[in-house]
Amino acid sequence: MQPIAPAVKNAYDLDNNTVNTISLVYMGFYVFVNFPSNYVLDTYGIRVGVLIGIVLTAIGMWVKCLINYGFYIAIIG
């Protein structure tokens, strides 16, 4: 269980399983992103791969800043 889970659970009136899906999303997303990212690294090099990773991480963090509009925005981000 995540240390912040009780606060998120109380703030959004959710159960523990829903709150813990945030950590599971990363593992599930890895399966789908692994092969395209390896292709980009092999084809274009590590510089382009890292730049794409930086941009996608920044977009994801900006989306997570919208958590006040709903809990599921954090899962999408």
Report the pLDDT value the prediction gives residue 1, as an integer from 0 to 100.
58
Domain residue ranges in the chain: 5-76
Report the pLDDT value the prediction gives residue 8, as an integer from 0 to 100.
78
Own/partner long-range contacts of 14-18 (Cβ < 8 Å, ≥24 apart): 14/71, 18/71
Model confidence pLDDT, tens digit, residues 22-63:
777 778 888 888 999 999 999 999 999 999 999 998 998 888
